[in-house]
Structure 1
Amino acid sequence: MGKLKVTNTKLQDVKIIEPTVFGDQRGFFTETYSDRDFKAAGINYDFIQDNQSLSSQAGVLRGLHFQRGKAAQTKLIRVVTGAVFDVIVDVRKGSPTYKQWEGYIISESNHRQLLVPKGFAHGFVTLTNNVNFLYKCDNYYNAEADGGFSFKTPELGINWPIDFNQAITSEKDAAQPTFTEFEKNNPFVYGEI
């Protein structure tokens, strides 16, 4: 039924997906995911787990996260309510865009989805209250493979739209290693994931 607009980003293999939205005075309708349409657009992943997070306040900062090894995940993310500034970092050693980041506004009103491939760290900060954030994943959650590094990454120059002293974070995210520490044992190699 729907058509997809797929836009490549400056980060190798990352895509912004915009489904067709049919709106009128009642509201709107859109197909958020159709395996057939995504595969026809060249997005060939078998998503097997859906996750949802609720962030009740603006200023919630989650990330930067990934899963290692055979548990690495490609994610298709979208926002159902509210808005976020979504950040991804290419951590695949040898990639043409290694250590580069991009930030995107993903919101209920723009209907954008973001394809975050394996080998990218991912995080976001909420720009509104009551953000419902959905993730489709092509691999199951694995606590033993869970990893990340600090959102405070001066060596990467990420321009978060928030004062870190005002950010609402988990203890786990606040205690993540620096990117420099992560890089010493970085398991991601471009072309081997």
Structure 2
Amino acid sequence: MMTRLIIARHGNTFAHGEEVRRVGRTDIPLVQSGLEQGYRLGIHLLQQQLLPDVLFTSTLQRTQQTAMHAQASMGTNLPLHPLSLFDEIDYGIDENQPETLVRARLGEEALRLWETQAIVPAGWQADPEQIRTSWFYFAQKIVTEYPQKTVLVITSNGIARFAPYLTGDYLAFYQKHSLKLATGAYGHFEFQPTQKNWSCVSWNIRP
């Protein structure tokens, strides 16, 4: 009676040595290494017997490219279900700006709080309550519509870090884990009808 939820982050969008920018809603493609990460994700899920029955992405091309390359290695041909609720957050005045400039504007403490507690820095257009609500809505949706199935979601870092609220104890989660999913990495959650909350089986597994 268990429902599985696999939440993966898309692959790399910047090549080695390329200037890294703070990209959220800006729709940029994967670089070659990012496509390869998608392929490795699929191989890993196949080896771990975590093949999805249904596949959701954001509306951004980087998540859909990751999904397509994962499917190539998994040998699946599932239709993609793009949902805007999985689109990366809008970084506001820092959107698509070089990471060095973002760090200079915000300071290390603001970025540390974002990375460790998902506290949104000033100037970013992100509503944590709305993101949390979206995760709870989606989790209930898949329990109802896809019971006993494995659901794969490919999204972005700013959205994925709020998914552990499904465990019912976000504080305990971020005290134990880094909230940030690496590119091409995933978290594995499970739900039993006898439980109130989802359990986290693993987090930030990078094939």
Do the two structures share a fold, i.e. TM-score over 0.5?
no
Greater strand share, 1 or 2?
1
The TM-score range, normalised by the shorter chain, is 0.3 to 0.5
Higher helix share goes to which structure?
2
TM-score (norm 1): 0.34
Query: Which structure exhibits the higher relative contact order, with contacts defined as CA atoms closer than 8 Å and separated by 6 or more residues?
Result: 2
